[in-house]
Chains A and B, each alone.
Chain A
């Protein structure tokens, strides 16, 4: 116990991977055992995160619970982990969603052992990115996270899974090439990959680097970081991998893909781009804001144009993540002002909010797909009378996703709009078009699925949402409401972290 408390972060980080190794030795026909083992294994990091949350001192500056071990000494890369308010929020999101995703996967019957192991590896991969305070470690986990997701889509996905998984993998990898090179450059320059050190040294460097003016080098490096993260978020026009990946991924895969993996990109902006390139970020913030607004608008239009329910929800992620990026861009542009502060508070809160609401939406799409084996909205109609409980949950979750006031999404979207209004007035106003169409596509989904004349085909064939599925949704729905009515408990941690970031 003492070991765990003194190595809290590494315990959270590696427990899922260790548990996956244990599951490897379980007999593969004991499906029930494997499922429960995976679920319990994923609950442990959640419990530890709650412990972390309660022991975390949100008022203290810098990183907490740091652990540093020698790792690759020849190039001075150390295994350095630590949390601040930002990463803590993301860790909470990850450890919360993973058990729910695993519980959602109890209906998987094909190669359960491999499936559950991949999920646990995925959790370690994602957590590693959020916890890393060393650039090389960051990159290692960044890439590791891709692999389980690739296999989850490729092996348990839908009809077009090969195309989707390849697109996902290649696109993200291609994006990270520049990131890798830039990281290497930093490592060569400063003989360290340690982030807190680099924050100091890299931002204060002057003169020439490798024979080039430092501004040029920084600009190139800034863009290589930015592109990598932009693809991951994804920001328009790098977004087309996302609808494909989501549509083909198994339900729980989509939950984590939308819930956590997209946040890795936004987190990259917060943890690396803005602190390492404050000047360049401010200089190019306009471009980023423009692309963010394009994401908001075209994400919403894209979603509205879909007849495939899952693809509709996938496009909604582009729309919602656009607000995150808009907030980040505003904060980068006017760092140090209250407006920037509010925008960034909103962006981080929006990351959390989108994480839970998108996971909920994807799960609910999965619930109906499992029963009907179709995602085409035109095949449904009037199902509310057949599945009233499911319908109620879907409407509730849809409203959270739409950003209805008194539910979670509204607070963060409002803060982003408020924060970016004085900084990017025109862009913010243009983003309202996207916000309008958020309503349009959400209502389109409800209209075609639940409302309208009953499609008699499903009478007697469609079963109500079951208890396990309700249990998956219950914590999420509680959070929608709690974060909509009393967001201060989370926002306070974020707010203090943002204060220290600037």
Chain B
């Protein structure tokens, strides 16, 4: 099959799976998951074929796989849409294919396929467990299968469709289509257990917060389309167009290129949960864990970073390689700030998934900061490695929770929160596969030197920030990296090391193969994927393997970015913060007893409370935006303007007419007409009136005739009036 045809087909299997499951197989769990996983496997296979073929093309950046069709006729022109695989989308396609497939597979086990139906389960709530009787006649509490099992696979199928569409798009419009479809799926899946109030509210929060970014992005797209007459990458990122955009002034002192870049970037701020639109992502952990892994760690939130890398030529147009353009400074600031800001919050969270959520925000901040300082290849590298190790960590945490839930069912102690790390401890013995893979993921996240992928990608960002003299960014990111290593080790120590702190943790159990196999596969990538991007001049290792990633992805744009000269300072910093953070994390938390407070709380005091409450952003936004919006809608718009002002004006017309009518009757008709004309005519009128009422039974023809004759009479009168 021609590669272009194959690329067109990539997003289709999951979409087809969505429709098949929704329309036909939703009552059959096995069939539904076969269709879902099968579709993911097909798309994975296609992605790998495309990826391998892309590797075989020399100068793929200049000769990407591309194909486009006419979509919308507008005036004499067409708006074209199409597909395109260049180096950047090829590597994204690679990790999307793998993570999506693994997460589909994992979902089978996560939703307890093969277990009995729950005793009291109902759609919209998480399964509560079932009672099973073994061969000796003993009753056991066992996990029960998800009541909306099929629906889950339909939704993640639609999600996968959105992600593939986004990646293969050759233009910003279909990218936006995929972007929004994922937004919808994110909403549907965060609110998957819609019967829970918290899940429902989190879903709405996610949709609305990202939509703030989206409307700006839509404006950016409209602006770009207006300015260039196209939305295809090869047109809008061509040198001629970029030059024109970079020299056109727009608003607020920005060039058109900078302004469009900024508007589009705000979309990414929402989607990739950057400050100040970060608030939705931690709440999104209300969804089932595979969703957190896929949507809120590996793929969807990466979409914002991917798009920002895509539009890099726009906001860097006119950039000379030194200093930063206005838009780049904004992007670098937001990214670096978010990286540190989210890391501080993560330190004080106790929910195993929330820690990961904040770490995701923080890591996305790294990538955004890297793009902001022009190191887009490093950002892309971190994007890929992060997708692998963060998907791994999320799936690992899901496995932990799953194991803990098993303990809850076993002990019957439903008051123990299976997601609170202070209720865990000692899980390394109970769940060895989960432990080792989680350890790998955690070390990758911390940037544990040499063996993990996270080290190499993070190191490249450090090197770039240092090498180009962006010291503020460098220091901020280094601080954040220290905190990252610290909270990661805190998480690992609290969950897996030491002794079990609750009976639930004592009875935790390893999860089935459908869950552990994806963990192992992702763990392999979390280690090996770093090796494709080892800098050439790295002491000892450099040059053993070619720095393939930089070569390959660096060829996406017309101007190939130079690799930064090697320097020891960032490397030592990177080593120091990673190992230091890991060490302190272990030191502080290794001896936490059951029921003990967080040792950090004693040290930090009120600061810790501030961090625990996420700097009170939710409360502040509620006060500043959500409550006023309600008031503006319910009270101002509806009660005051519509009901009060406008309708009262209308009613006053009505009252005036009634008053005029009764005045005419009382002061003209009664004294004047009645006296001279007599009461007879009134009776006639009344009779006529009551006769006319019968018309309302439905003899509309009469009304039509009446309306028409009135018209004709009025028309005739006017005619003669004007003629005279």
The answer to whether A binds B is yes
Contact assessment for A121 and B222 in the assembled complex, using a CB-CB cutoff below 8 Å: no
Report the bound CA distance from A187 to B632 in whole Å.
47
Report the bound CA distance from A75 to B22 in whole Å.
61
Within 8 A of B (CB), among A408-440: 410-411, 414-415, 417-418, 421-422, 428-429, 432, 435-437, 439-440
Q: Mark B695-710, 1 if CB is under 8 A from A, else 0.
A: 0111011011001100
Contact assessment for A148 and B700 in the assembled complex, using a CB-CB cutoff below 8 Å: yes
Contact residue among B200, B216, B701, B704 (Cβ-Cβ distance under 8 Å from A451): B200
**A181 proximity list for chain B (CB < 8 A):** 718
Q: Mark B118-153, 1 if CB is under 8 A from A, else 0.
A: 000011100000000000000000000000000000
The smallest beta-carbon distance between B16 and chain A, in angstroms, is 14
Contact assessment for A338 and B75 in the assembled complex, using a CB-CB cutoff below 8 Å: yes
Tell me if B541 is interfacial: C-beta within 8 Å of chain A. Answer: no
Report the bound CA distance from A439 to B183 in whole Å.
12
The smallest beta-carbon distance between A350 and chain B, in angstroms, is 14
Tell me if B620 is interfacial: C-beta within 8 Å of chain A. Answer: no
Known contacts A302-B633, A436-B212, A447-B204; decide if A382 and B73 are in contact (CB<8 Å). no
**B76 proximity list for chain A (CB < 8 A):** 499
The smallest beta-carbon distance between A177 and chain B, in angstroms, is 10
Tell me if A167 is interfacial: C-beta within 8 Å of chain B. Answer: yes
Report the bound CA distance from A269 to B540 in whole Å.
75
The smallest beta-carbon distance between A233 and chain B, in angstroms, is 15
Known contacts A414-B222, A418-B225, A488-B70; decide if A439 and B208 are in contact (CB<8 Å). yes
Tell me if A283 is interfacial: C-beta within 8 Å of chain B. Answer: no
The smallest beta-carbon distance between B184 and chain A, in angstroms, is 6
**B635 proximity list for chain A (CB < 8 A):** 305
Question: How would you classify the secondary structure of chain B's contact residues: helix, strand, loop or mixed?
Answer: helix
Q: Mark B198-226, 1 if CB is under 8 A from A, else 0.
A: 00100110011001100110110111011
Tell me if B676 is interfacial: C-beta within 8 Å of chain A. Answer: no
Tell me if B459 is interfacial: C-beta within 8 Å of chain A. Answer: no
Tell me if B679 is interfacial: C-beta within 8 Å of chain A. Answer: no
What is the interface residue range for chain A against chain B?
A: 35 or more
The smallest beta-carbon distance between A51 and chain B, in angstroms, is 24
**B704 proximity list for chain A (CB < 8 A):** 121, 144, 147
Report the bound CA distance from A207 to B221 in whole Å.
46
**B211 proximity list for chain A (CB < 8 A):** 436, 439
The smallest beta-carbon distance between B165 and chain A, in angstroms, is 9
Tell me if B528 is interfacial: C-beta within 8 Å of chain A. Answer: no
Tell me if B684 is interfacial: C-beta within 8 Å of chain A. Answer: no
Known contacts A240-B650, A338-B74, A495-B73; decide if A184 and B22 are in contact (CB<8 Å). no
Tell me if B197 is interfacial: C-beta within 8 Å of chain A. Answer: yes
The smallest beta-carbon distance between B254 and chain A, in angstroms, is 14
Known contacts A147-B704, A414-B218, A436-B215; decide if A495 and B194 are in contact (CB<8 Å). no
Which of chain A's residues has its CB closest to B165's CB?
A406
Tell me if A201 is interfacial: C-beta within 8 Å of chain B. Answer: no
**A188 proximity list for chain B (CB < 8 A):** 718-719, 722-723
Report the bound CA distance from A399 to B184 in whole Å.
9
Contact assessment for B715 and A384 in the assembled complex, using a CB-CB cutoff below 8 Å: no
Interface-facing stretch out of B464-472, B583-591, B637-645:
B637-645
**B637 proximity list for chain A (CB < 8 A):** 298, 301-302, 305
Report the bound CA distance from A298 to B632 in whole Å.
9
Contact assessment for B222 and A447 in the assembled complex, using a CB-CB cutoff below 8 Å: no
Tell me if B412 is interfacial: C-beta within 8 Å of chain A. Answer: no
Interface-facing stretch out of A111-119, A252-260, A273-281, A369-377:
A111-119
**A114 proximity list for chain B (CB < 8 A):** 697-698
Q: Mark A330-352, 1 if CB is under 8 A from B, else 0.
A: 00000000110110010000000
Contact assessment for A342 and B74 in the assembled complex, using a CB-CB cutoff below 8 Å: yes
Contact residue among A74, A143, A339, A437 (Cβ-Cβ distance under 8 Å from B226): A339
Contact assessment for A428 and B698 in the assembled complex, using a CB-CB cutoff below 8 Å: no
Tell me if A133 is interfacial: C-beta within 8 Å of chain B. Answer: no
Tell me if A72 is interfacial: C-beta within 8 Å of chain B. Answer: yes
Contact residue among B195, B221, B723 (Cβ-Cβ distance under 8 Å from A453): B195
Known contacts A143-B711, A495-B73, A495-B75; decide if A384 and B219 are in contact (CB<8 Å). no
Contact assessment for A415 and B74 in the assembled complex, using a CB-CB cutoff below 8 Å: yes
Tell me if B563 is interfacial: C-beta within 8 Å of chain A. Answer: no
**A410 proximity list for chain B (CB < 8 A):** 177, 180
**B71 proximity list for chain A (CB < 8 A):** 488
Tell me if B58 is interfacial: C-beta within 8 Å of chain A. Answer: no
The smallest beta-carbon distance between A439 and chain B, in angstroms, is 5
Known contacts A117-B700, A385-B195; decide if A452 and B73 are in contact (CB<8 Å). no
Tell me if B629 is interfacial: C-beta within 8 Å of chain A. Answer: yes
Report the bound CA distance from A187 to B715 in whole Å.
10
The smallest beta-carbon distance between B71 and chain A, in angstroms, is 7
Q: Mark B514-550, 1 if CB is under 8 A from A, else 0.
A: 0000000000000000000000000000000000000
Contact assessment for A421 and B219 in the assembled complex, using a CB-CB cutoff below 8 Å: yes
Contact assessment for B698 and A240 in the assembled complex, using a CB-CB cutoff below 8 Å: no
**B222 proximity list for chain A (CB < 8 A):** 414, 417-418, 421, 428
The smallest beta-carbon distance between A138 and chain B, in angstroms, is 12
Within 8 A of A (CB), among B361-377: none
Contact assessment for A341 and B75 in the assembled complex, using a CB-CB cutoff below 8 Å: yes
**B632 proximity list for chain A (CB < 8 A):** 301
Contact assessment for B194 and A384 in the assembled complex, using a CB-CB cutoff below 8 Å: yes
Known contacts A338-B74, A392-B22, A440-B629; decide if A147 and B223 are in contact (CB<8 Å). no
Known contacts A432-B215, A488-B71; decide if A454 and B711 are in contact (CB<8 Å). no
Report the bound CA distance from A148 to B208 in whole Å.
41
Which of chain B's residues has its CB closest to A439's CB?
B211
Report the bound CA distance from A316 to B633 in whole Å.
13
Which of chain B's residues has its CB closest to A148's CB?
B700
**B703 proximity list for chain A (CB < 8 A):** 147
**A118 proximity list for chain B (CB < 8 A):** 698, 700
Tell me if B596 is interfacial: C-beta within 8 Å of chain A. Answer: no
Within 8 A of B (CB), among A129-148: 136, 139-140, 143-144, 147-148
**A48 proximity list for chain B (CB < 8 A):** none
**A388 proximity list for chain B (CB < 8 A):** 123
Contact assessment for A452 and B195 in the assembled complex, using a CB-CB cutoff below 8 Å: yes
Report the bound CA distance from A253 to B630 in whole Å.
30
Q: Mark B641-671, 1 if CB is under 8 A from A, else 0.
A: 1100011001000100000000000000000
**B722 proximity list for chain A (CB < 8 A):** 184-185, 188
Contact assessment for B122 and A301 in the assembled complex, using a CB-CB cutoff below 8 Å: no
**B650 proximity list for chain A (CB < 8 A):** 167, 171, 240
Tell me if B176 is interfacial: C-beta within 8 Å of chain A. Answer: yes
Tell me if B31 is interfacial: C-beta within 8 Å of chain A. Answer: no
Report the bound CA distance from A74 to B717 in whole Å.
12
Which of chain B's residues has its CB closest to A304's CB?
B633
**B707 proximity list for chain A (CB < 8 A):** 140, 143-144, 147
Report the bound CA distance from A184 to B718 in whole Å.
7
Tell me if A491 is interfacial: C-beta within 8 Å of chain B. Answer: yes
Tell me if B712 is interfacial: C-beta within 8 Å of chain A. Answer: yes
The smallest beta-carbon distance between B614 and chain A, in angstroms, is 23
Tell me if B508 is interfacial: C-beta within 8 Å of chain A. Answer: no
Which of chain B's residues has its CB closest to A406's CB?
B177
The smallest beta-carbon distance between B487 and chain A, in angstroms, is 33
Report the bound CA distance from A192 to B180 in whole Å.
52
Contact assessment for B219 and A429 in the assembled complex, using a CB-CB cutoff below 8 Å: yes
**B22 proximity list for chain A (CB < 8 A):** 392
Contact assessment for B177 and A405 in the assembled complex, using a CB-CB cutoff below 8 Å: yes
Report the bound CA distance from A395 to B704 in whole Å.
41
Report the bound CA distance from A96 to B698 in whole Å.
24
Which of chain A's residues has its CB closest to B653's CB?
A174
Contact assessment for A491 and B715 in the assembled complex, using a CB-CB cutoff below 8 Å: no
The smallest beta-carbon distance between B77 and chain A, in angstroms, is 8
Which of chain A's residues has its CB closest to B147's CB?
A385
Tell me if A155 is interfacial: C-beta within 8 Å of chain B. Answer: yes
**B719 proximity list for chain A (CB < 8 A):** 74-75, 184, 187-188
A-B contact pairs, 13 of them (CB 8 A): A118-B698, A148-B700, A151-B696, A243-B642, A304-B633, A305-B630, A341-B75, A414-B173, A418-B222, A422-B226, A452-B195, A488-B73, A499-B75
Known: A188-B722, A421-B226. 4 other contacts (CB 8 A): A118-B698, A151-B698, A410-B177, A452-B197
